[in-house]
Structure 1
Amino acid sequence: MAAVCFCGDWFVLSCDTKLVAVDSRQSREPFVFDCSTAERKTKSTKDDDNSDGAAEETGSDKVLAFTVSPSGKLVALTDDNKRLVLFQREPSWRCVSIRCVVRRCTSLMFSHAEKELLAADKSGDVYSFSVEEPQKEGELKMGHLSMLLAVTTSPDDRYIITADRDEKIRVSHLRCPYNIQSFCLGHQQFVSALLVPAGHPHLLLSGSGDGTVKLWEYESGQKLQSWDLRALEETLSPEADEQKKPSVCRITSSPDARHVAVQCERESWVQFFTVDREAGEKLVPHSRLSLPHCALDVTFDPEGRLWVLMDSSDAPLQVYKHTGGSWESDADSPELSRVTEALRLHWETLQASTRTNSRFEHLYKVSFDNVTAYLQKKQQRLEEQQLKRTKTHETNGNKRAKTSATGCQTSA
C-alpha cells in the first residue's frame, strides 16, 4: 500500500515495507523505518488464546496502514506481520514501541486527545492501545460482524465511528462502545472512507464502493446529501465502463476547512467539494482536477496545497495549489523539489508497492440471479419440445401422404 500524509512540515510516505519522512522545509536527513529489518515481536499468551490453535503466520512485512496524530507529533503504522509501531516526531524522530495486534489491521486512528490509538482489523474488531503506556497491550473496544475498513472519532472524542464491508456506518460512544448512538445507512456497497470535515464537528463524510459520497449528521444518523461521482463527470472517456462505479479510497479536507478532496482507486482525477455554511452546510461540488496518471493517494499540506502521489515512474509526486478558483500545478515549488530529491532513493520501493492488486476488488458483493437462468433454461426446453412436436407432426404427415398415394395406385 502506498500512502502519503503530512506530519507538521514533514512529508510522510508509506510504500511497501518502508515508512519515509522528509522535512519539506529544511534540507536534512530523512527518517526511514523498514519493517523488514525491524524487531520481531512474539505473540503474548493472551493472543495465543485467541488464535484457536492456528499455526503462526508469517507476514510479508508490508505496511498495511499508518496514521498521524492531530497535533502531528505522533505517527503509527501496522504491518502484515501484525506489528503496531508507534513513533514520536519531536524533539527528533524515534521509534517509541513495537507491539503485537491480534489480527491484521485495516485502519488506524489516534483519538483527538492523543491518549489512545485505535486499530480496526479485518475480523471487525477495534482495539485500543495506550499512547501514554507504550508497552501496554491492546484492549478490545468493540466488534462488527464483518471486516472493518475505516475508523474515526468525533472531535470531542465522545464518539467512535466505524465503517464495514456490509455498507454499515456505526456511531458508538467511545468510552462505552456497546452503547450505540446511531447507524448511518444508505450505501449500496462497502464503506471505505470516513471523514469528519475540518470546521464541521457534527458532520460526517463517507465514501463507498458504490461510487457515492454522502453527507451525514452522524449523531442522529440522518443522511443530508448524496453525490454520485460518476454523474459529476462532464464527459466519460471512451474506455470508461459506464456500469462500473469508482471506489472511494480517500476523503481529506484542507486545514482551513475550505476544500474537501475525494480520491478514487485507479482513477486519474480528484473531485473537490466545499461544505457551504451559507447554504445550510450543504456539500457542494467545486471542481474536478484531471491528473496525468492514476492517483495512489492525496493529502493537503499545512498551507492547503494538494500533494498527489501518482502511478508514474517519471514524476510520481505532484503539488497543486488553488488559484483563481481552480487547481493548478505548482511544479516550481521548492518543497516539492526537496521532497522529490530525498525520495529518489526509494522510488524502486515505491514502484514495487504500486504493482499490487486492487484493495477493493474482492470486497464487492456478487449477486446471483437464479431466476433469469431458470427462465432461460425453461424457454430453451419449451423451444426444444416445440421443435420435437413439429418434427413428429411432419413425419406423421409424410407417412399419411405416402399411405394415401399407395392406396390410390392399388385401386388403379
Structure 2
Amino acid sequence: MNIKELNSRLVLTSGDTIVALDTTSGTTQTVTIPAPNLPPNLTKGQLEVLNKQDRTISSLATSQTGQYIVVSTENKQIVLFDNNLNLIRNFIVNRAASKVLFTNQDDILVADRTGDVFLYKFNDEKTEPTLLLGHLSMILDMKLSECGKYIVTCDRDEKIRVSHFPNTYNIVSFCLGHEEFVTRIDFVKHVLVSASGDGTLRVWDYLKGEQLSVINTNNHVDDANLLKDLSLEMDKEKVDVSALPIIDMQTFCSDGVFIAVSLLNYKSIQLYKLSLDNHVCTYVKSIQCDETPLKFHLSTNLFIFDNSKLTIYDYCSDSSRTEPKPALKIADCHNFITVLYKRKYDNVQEYLERKKLRLESNK
C-alpha cells in the first residue's frame, strides 16, 4: 500500500487498484490498472511475465504540479494518469521497478530492482529512456531536492548516494553510517533525513556527506518482546538483528519539522520534532494504535490505516477521530522487510566435507 496527498485528497494503492479518498466527505474514486500494451517480438517468457494477472502496484508518485499520478507494478508496467485518474500512458520497462518519481518538469524517474535509475521523457513516447545512475543493490527510495539540482538514492547496502541532476555522473557525496538497509529518505529544508533497518533516524548535511545527528527509535519502544521475537525468527536464517527496523518515515513542515516513524510489528506511530537550528531530533510522543498500523500519511494531521479503520490524529491538539476505512487490500510488509536483511552463508563446512570425501576416495 502506498499513500500520497494530491489536491486535498489521499491517493492510495490497494493491490492493482488506485483509490482517491476525500477525507472530508469520505467519498472515493477508484481505477484498476489496465492490461499492459505489449510491444512486438517478445519472447514466450516475457509474454508470460507481462500478461500475468498480478498487477500489484509496487510504487506510487504524484507530480509537484498536482496534475499527474504514476505507478509501477509487479509485472513491469509504468502507468500514468491525470489527477482525475484518466489514463494517459501505459508502457512496460525491462525490469520491475522498486520506485517511481516525478521530476520538476513532470518527466518520470524509474528505479529498478537491480539498482539502475532511468529517466523517461513525459512528452516523447518514442525516445529511449536515459540511464542516469546505478547502484550495486536494489534502490529502496529516491528523492529530488526542491531546487531540482540533486537526486538522492538509497539502497539495501546501507548506502545513500547524492548526485547532481540531471548530470548524475557527477557524484556530490555519499552519506555513510547506517548499519542496515536504508528504507526512507527525505529532504527537509537544507538537510536530509534518513531511516533504516538499524532502527535509527539520521540527519545529514547531504552536500558534504556529514552526519549531523542520530536518534535510535528503539529507545522509545516499550515492548522488548518485539525485538526478541524478530531476532529469534531471523536467527533461523542466520541473520543477526539488533533493532526493530523502520519500515516507513515521513516528514512535514508546519510550526517546526515533524517526523513520523513506523516500526515493524509495533502498534504505535512515533512522532519526532527536528530542530533546524542544531539539527537535533527530539522524541515527542508515540501514538498508540488498536492494531499494528499498516500505513500512515503525515500532513497537518496524521492519517493511520489499519485492518479495520482509518484514524485521523491531530498531533497538535492530541485528539483523534476514526472513519470507516475504504475497501482496501493491504499487503503485509513483514516479508518484504525481512528479506532485505543480508544472509550469512558458511561455505567452509561444505568445502571441508567435500575435501574429506575426496581424501577418503583416494585411499
Instruction: Give the TM-score band, short-chain normalised.
Output: 0.7 to 0.9
Decide which of 320, 329, 343 is 2:313's aligned counterpart.
320
With over 3 angstroms needed to count, the CA separation of the structure-2 counterparts of 1:193 and 1:27, relative to structure 1, is closer
Decide which of 154, 179, 193 is 1:163's aligned counterpart.
154
SS of 1:360's equivalent? Answer: helix
Unpaired runs of 5+ in structure 2? 232-240, 350-363
| 8 Å Cα contact 1:99-1:137 kept in structure 2 | no
- Indicate whether 1:241 and 2:201 are aligned: no
Q: State the superposition RMSD in angstroms.
A: 2.6
| 8 Å Cα contact 2:155-2:181 kept in structure 1 | yes
Query: Which residue of structure 1 aligns with residue 138 of structure 2?
Result: 147
With over 3 angstroms needed to count, the CA separation of the structure-2 counterparts of 1:71 and 1:285, relative to structure 1, is farther
With over 3 angstroms needed to count, the CA separation of the structure-2 counterparts of 1:227 and 1:367, relative to structure 1, is farther
Query: Which residue of structure 2 aligns with residue 266 of structure 1?
Result: 265
Paired with 2:248 and 2:126, the residues of 1 have a C-alpha distance of 31
Paired with 1:7 and 1:107, the residues of 2 have a C-alpha distance of 18
With over 3 angstroms needed to count, the CA separation of the structure-2 counterparts of 1:318 and 1:25, relative to structure 1, is closer
CA shift for structure 1 position 44: 6.9
Query: Which residue of structure 2 aligns with residue 393 of structure 1?
Result: none
CA shift for structure 1 position 88: 1.2
Amino acid at match of 2:284: H
Query: Which residue of structure 1 aligns with residue 37 of structure 2?
Result: 41
Query: Which residue of structure 2 aligns with residue 186 of structure 1?
Result: 177
Greater RCO (Cα-Cα under 8 Å, separation 6 or more) = 1
With over 3 angstroms needed to count, the CA separation of the structure-2 counterparts of 1:265 and 1:65, relative to structure 1, is farther
With over 3 angstroms needed to count, the CA separation of the structure-2 counterparts of 1:17 and 1:269, relative to structure 1, is same
CA shift for structure 1 position 158: 0.6
Amino acid at match of 1:293: E
CA shift for structure 1 position 134: 5.8
The range that moved more, 3-12 or 203-212, is 3-12
**TM-score with structure 2 setting the length:** 0.84
Correspondences of 1:106-121 after superposition (within 5 Å) = 106-111=98-103, 113-121=104-112
- Indicate whether 1:32 and 2:30 are aligned: yes
Decide which of 129, 134, 137 is 2:120's aligned counterpart.
129
Query: Which residue of structure 2 aligns with residue 212 of structure 1?
Result: 200
Query: Which residue of structure 2 aligns with residue 203 of structure 1?
Result: 191
CA shift for structure 1 position 295: 1.6
Query: Which residue of structure 2 aligns with residue 101 of structure 1?
Result: 93
CA shift for structure 1 position 21: 0.8
Amino acid at match of 2:151: I
- Indicate whether 1:64 and 2:52 are aligned: no
| 8 Å Cα contact 1:125-1:144 kept in structure 2 | yes
- Cα deviation digits, residues 40-68 of structure 1 (max 9, x gap): 222477xx7xx9x9644244111111112
Count of matched residue pairs: 335
Decide which of 296, 299, 303 is 1:307's aligned counterpart.
303
| 8 Å Cα contact 1:265-1:295 kept in structure 2 | no
Amino acid at match of 1:105: A
Paired with 1:163 and 1:174, the residues of 2 have a C-alpha distance of 15
The range that moved more, 129-138 or 60-69, is 129-138
Correspondences of 1:327-338 after superposition (within 5 Å) = 327-331=318-322, 336=323
Instruction: Report which of the two has the higher share of helix.
Output: 1
- Cα deviation digits, residues 119-168 of structure 1 (max 9, x gap): 11101000112234467553221111111111111111111101111111
CA shift for structure 1 position 357: 5.1
With over 3 angstroms needed to count, the CA separation of the structure-2 counterparts of 1:121 and 1:358, relative to structure 1, is same
With over 3 angstroms needed to count, the CA separation of the structure-2 counterparts of 1:213 and 1:357, relative to structure 1, is closer
Amino acid at match of 1:96: I
SS of 2:91's equivalent? Answer: strand
Percent identical:
24
Amino acid at match of 1:320: Y
Paired with 2:32 and 2:186, the residues of 1 have a C-alpha distance of 29
Amino acid at match of 1:131: F
**TM-score with structure 1 setting the length:** 0.74
Query: Which residue of structure 1 aligns with residue 79 of structure 2?
Result: 85
- Cα deviation digits, residues 18-48 of structure 1 (max 9, x gap): 11112334576x332212xx13222477xx7
> Between Structure 1 and Structure 2, whose CA radius of gyration is higher?
1
